Structures are given as C-alpha cells and as structure tokens.
Amino acid sequence: MQALGCHPTTWESIGSCDRPSIVIGITHPETCLVLPERIRVLKAAGFRVVIISSPGTLLNEIAISEGVDVAPVSMERGVAPLADVASLIRLCRVLKQLQPSMTEFSTPKAGLLGNLAAKLCRIPTRVYLLRGLRLETLSGLKRRLLLSAERIAAASAHHVLCNSKSLRAKALKLGIAPPEKLHVLGGGSSQGVDTERFSPGPEMVRRSLRIPNDCPVIGFVGRLTCDKGIPELLQAFERILQKVPEARLLLVGWFDESDDALSEAVRRHIMTHAQILYTGFVADTAPYYRAMDLMVLPTWREGFPNVVLEAGSTGIPVVATHSTGACDSVLPEVTGLLIPAGYPEAIAEAVIRLIRNPDERFRMGRAAREWVITRFVNEHVLGLTVDFYKKLLQPPNREEAGAVVMDGPAVAD
C-alpha cells in the first residue's frame, strides 16, 4: 500500500475518480486506534478514504489492515509556531494533490491546521469532527490560545460535528461556532460499539493476572493521564481499601506522554502497589471488561467516552463524572452513577455502594447493555455519519445538512 507523501511524484488525485473521496485527518497516529470501523463503513458506502496523520507505526498498520492510502504529515501536539507553519504548507500540498470531495479533520492540532489548509485549498465540503475540548482543563494564556484555535478550526469548516450533546452545548457557550454549524448525530459517539465483541461471556483475565475470584475488581480503561482523573482514582482506591481490603484496581491503558501526563511519583505508585494491576497498552480490551465488577471513569473532560459504552455493552455498570461528554454516557441510577469530577471521596462512596450491593450492580449492568444495544450499536452510529456525509455531497449541500440529527429525525436549531 502506497503511503502518499513518501514519493511526491507518485501522488494522484482522488477527487477525479468516480467514487466520492474523503480525507480523514488526525494529529497523532494513536488516534488510528478508533478509526478502523469508521474506515470500513465509509468504504462500504462507496467512499475512497485517505488518512492524514503524523507518521508512526499505527499509521502504517492501519494502511495495511484497512487497505487505505495514508499521507504522513508531521504535526506537533503542543504550541510550535514554526513547525505549525511547515505542517500547514505540507497539508496544503497534499490536499491540492489529492483534491478530495470532502475532508474530516479532528483532534486539536489537526483540527486547526487541517481545516485551515482545506479552506485555503477550497475543498468543497469541510467537516471538523469535535472529539472533545482540551481547553476545558486549562487556564490563562494556554486556554485563550486553544480557544482561538478552536474558533479558527470551526470557522474554516462548513460543519462542526460534535461527539455529544453536552459537548455541543459547551462549544456553543464558548462561542466556538454558531448554532447552525454545530451538529450531533443520534445520541452522540463517533463510532458506537461492536456489541458482539463487547458482550458478557466467559472470564479469562483474572486467572492470568492472579486475581482471586472473590476479590472485587474496579476497572479503568484508557490513557493514564491527569485529565482522565487518575490521581483522584488512586486516592479513592486507598479509601476503598479501608472498607473493602480485598479489592483490586485494574488499569487497562498506558502512560500517555501528553501535556497532562502523570508525574513520575504517581507512575511509581501504580507500578509498585500490591493491589493495582497495570496492563500497559492492550490491543483487545474486550476480555478485560469481563474481569471487572464495575468500571470507573473519573474524567475531567470528554467528547463522548466510548469506553463507557464498551463497559455497558459487556454488562457492567460505570461510575463516571458530570463533566462534558461523560455525562451523556451514563443514565444516572439506571446504567451507573454520575459524580462530580475531582472528588476522591465521591468516587470511593459510589464504588463501595456498588460493591456492597451486587443486585443493584447486576441490574445496572443489564440495563447498560440494553441501552447500548438500543442506541449505540456501531452500525447505527456510523450509519448516521454516512447518511450525513452523503447529504453533504448532494448539492445544495450545506442547506440540506443544516439541521442537527438528534435521537432520530433531523431537528432544526
């Protein structure tokens, strides 16, 4: 599979072929982990797909596994004016060569530079997929810079596709885009869940991790960072052990080297604690959910946390926070519990309640799976995306797609 950008003389236009073409742009190849289903559904719907991302192993792997062309373009995650200008020039060069029917850029830096490049290149249909707002946990100059970047990214796109209703509300409140430009499809989520893969079933992980069957397991899945609430979760776990000394904390994820990375002291605590099990990066997380009695996501910000849907699809309840995005992923007292972000005591109280009430835990787990199957099966969620994109490509595109699809029929703002 050719990697576009490695050999500039071999580039070909994808806009001139019979099929509609879409460029999906992300900042870091790590985001490729959530793209396979999106790519498959778009390809099945007749789109030709090209991925733009900073170079990396995961980008190369998705090119091979999904049979798509990729265009490596280095982009810095942080503020880097000179590097950003170089990336913008490179993005313009790639888009001019590809001439896609439409672009979908997401994640902060790719959202800014990619949408700006797409506008400069006059790509006819431009979508900014807003997966979350990094600025929510920042203050001062950094927050103002990121807010400006979000507004430029949104202004450069024709449509801003938000991952959740609360994210759309937050974007509207911050003045990132006018209401007619902000859209939510269905109940939210950018990909939904494979409910067959993430389902109740035989549990195999506890034995491999040497967890006794009678020990309650509190799980977490995702990047191990401050914004995900890991420091608060660790404090809460110490409180939990005072009441439930046999409990285990299963952290399924990796230490992400981002600007909200955990300190070395916190990492050491995780690695050396006798009752905390750290897996590192796991390609297939499905078996690990089956080892949990409940999952906790004490996050400070989200777009729409798919891990909550995966846990629910597996039949386990979730304790999440009232933060943006996370609040959309749990039906309080039905599929799990919602608590304020930043309070270890609230995490501990909610977890202990569910551990001590197995009937309530099982009831919530059953309700969670039913809710996910009803609203968030990946074919349904991604089908809404395909329908939306096809409407965008039917002239006159922007007026016809100017409604927000929420829980079914289009509802005008």
* Domain at 205-375, CATH class: alpha beta
CA distance 269 to 278: 11
Do the Cβ atoms of 246 and 259 come closer than 8 Å? no
CATH homologous superfamily for the domain 8-192+378-411? Glycogen Phosphorylase B; (3.40.50.2000)
Collect all residues with Cβ–Cβ distance below 8 Å to 186 and sequence separation of at least 6: 375, 380, 381, 384, 405, 406, 407, 408
CATH 3.40.50.2000: which residues of the chain? 8-192+378-411, 205-375
Strand 410-411 versus strand 404-405 pairing type: antiparallel
What is the reported pLDDT for 15? 56
Cis, peptide link before residue 36, omega less than 30° from 0: no
**Short-list 288, 121, 144, 127, CA closest to 203:** 288
In this prediction, residue 182 carries a pLDDT of 98
Per-residue pLDDT of the chain (413 residues; tens, 9 = 90+): 345 543 333 445 665 567 899 999 999 999 999 999 999 999 999 999 999 999 999 999 999 999 999 999 999 988 889 999 999 999 999 999 999 999 999 999 999 999 999 999 999 999 999 999 999 999 999 999 999 999 999 999 999 999 999 999 999 999 999 999 999 999 999 999 999 999 999 989 999 999 999 999 999 999 999 999 999 999 999 999 999 999 999 999 999 988 899 999 999 999 999 999 999 999 899 999 999 999 999 999 999 999 999 999 999 999 999 999 999 999 999 999 999 999 999 999 999 999 999 999 999 999 999 999 999 999 999 999 999 999 999 876 544 454 445 544 343 33
What pLDDT score does 14 carry? 60
β-partners of residue 41 are: none
Strand partners, 25: 52, 105
How far apart are the C-alpha atoms of 145 and 169, rounded to whole Å?
20
pLDDT for 313 equals 98
152 beta partners: none
- Evaluate whether 22 touches 49 at the Cβ level (below 8 Å): yes
